Amino acid sequence: MGWAIALHGGAGDIPKDLPPERRKPREATLRRCLEIGVAALKAHKSALDVVELVVRELENCPHFNAGRGSVLTTDGTVEMEASVMDGKTKNCGAVSGLTTVVNPISLARLVMEKTPHIYLAFDGAEAFAREQIDYTQPIKKAPKIAPVPEGDQIGTVGCVAIDTQGNLATATSTGGLVNKMVGRIGDTPIIGTGTYANNLCAVSATGKGESIIRATVGRDVAALMEYKGLSLEDAAAYVVEECAPKGTVGLVAVSATGEVTMAYNTTGMFRACATEAGHAELGIWSSESNE
C-alpha cells in the first residue's frame, strides 16, 4: 500500500500557449508543495495534517485562486471558501464567505474540531475565526473589474493523501468564480461534491462549481467504488466523462490501496502526485507530464 499524495491547482480551458510567466510560477509552486507533502508523509504525519499543510501553502501562492490569490466578486470583494474531510471518521469542516482569513482551510479544520457543526459561513465564520485564530488581515475592497478571459478563471486548489497508517484525507480551497454574484457558494465547501473522503478514497474536485454540485462528483466516485466495486481510476473516469458536462470538471483522488488518479474533462488541469512506490508526475495537459 504505502503513502500517496495528489494535488491540483485548478482545471479549465487552459490554453496550450499559456505564457511562461503564467505557467512557470504555478508549476514551481505545485512542485514545491508536492515536495512538502511527500516530506511530511515520510515523516509519518497524518493524512489530515498533510492535506491541510499543502493547501495552506497553495493558499499562500498568489498565482492560484485561493487564499492570497482569491478572485473578486461583482462588487470587487473577496469571498473565500474551503473544506476538509477525514476519511476514517468522516469528520469534516467547511467555511464560506470569508473576507479576512489568510488560510481558510485551517479555519475549516477548526470548524471540524472545535464546533459541533460542519459548515459556518459569512459573518458567523468570520466571528468564529476571530475567536480561534490570530492570522487574519484586512482585505480592502477593490474597484469593480471587467470579466476576464476563461483561461484566467483557473486556480481552485486541493490535496488528497493516504498516510503510512492507511488514513485518507482531503482538503479543497478556492476564491470562487471570477465575477461571481455576492453570496454565491460553489462546490468547494459542499461535502460530497467538491470534497469527499471515506475509508475507500479521498477526492478533491475543481472546475465549474455548479456542474460539480449537480454531479455530486466526490461522493459519486466513492459510491461507484463502494457499490459497483470499481477501481479508483475507473470510478473517477466514469464520473468525469459520464456524469458532468465536458469542460466542467477535474479531480485528484487517492484510494485506500494507494492508487492515485488525476482525471479531468477540461483542456487541462494543474496537477501533481507522488507515491511511496516511486511514481511522480507533474503536468497541465494530457499530452505531457514530467517527474
Quick: pLDDT tens for 161-177: 999 999 999 999 999 98
**Side chain identity, residue 94:** A
Across 13-40, average pLDDT: 95
Question: Cell 482525471, residue?
Answer: 263
Residue 49 has pLDDT above 60, yes or no: yes
Q: Each residue of 54-96: pLDDT tens digit?
A: 999 999 999 999 999 999 999 999 999 999 999 999 999 999 9
Burial class for 177, CB neighbours closer than 10 Å (0-12, 13-18, 19+): middle
- 230 burial (CB, 10 Å; 0-12 / 13-18 / 19+) is middle
Of 73, 156, 170, 275, which residue is the catalytic one?
156
Query: Does the structure show a pLDDT above 70 at 150?
Result: no
* 74 in catalytic set: no
pLDDT for the residue numbered 140: 44
- The pLDDT, as a whole number, for residue 60 is 94
- Which cell numbers in the block locate residue 189? 465547501
pLDDT per position as a tens digit, 193-221: 999 999 999 999 999 999 999 999 999 99
- The pLDDT assigned to 154 comes to 62
For the segment 122-131, what is each residue's pLDDT rounded down to a tens digit? 999 999 999 9
What percentage of the chain reaches a pLDDT higher than 70? 91
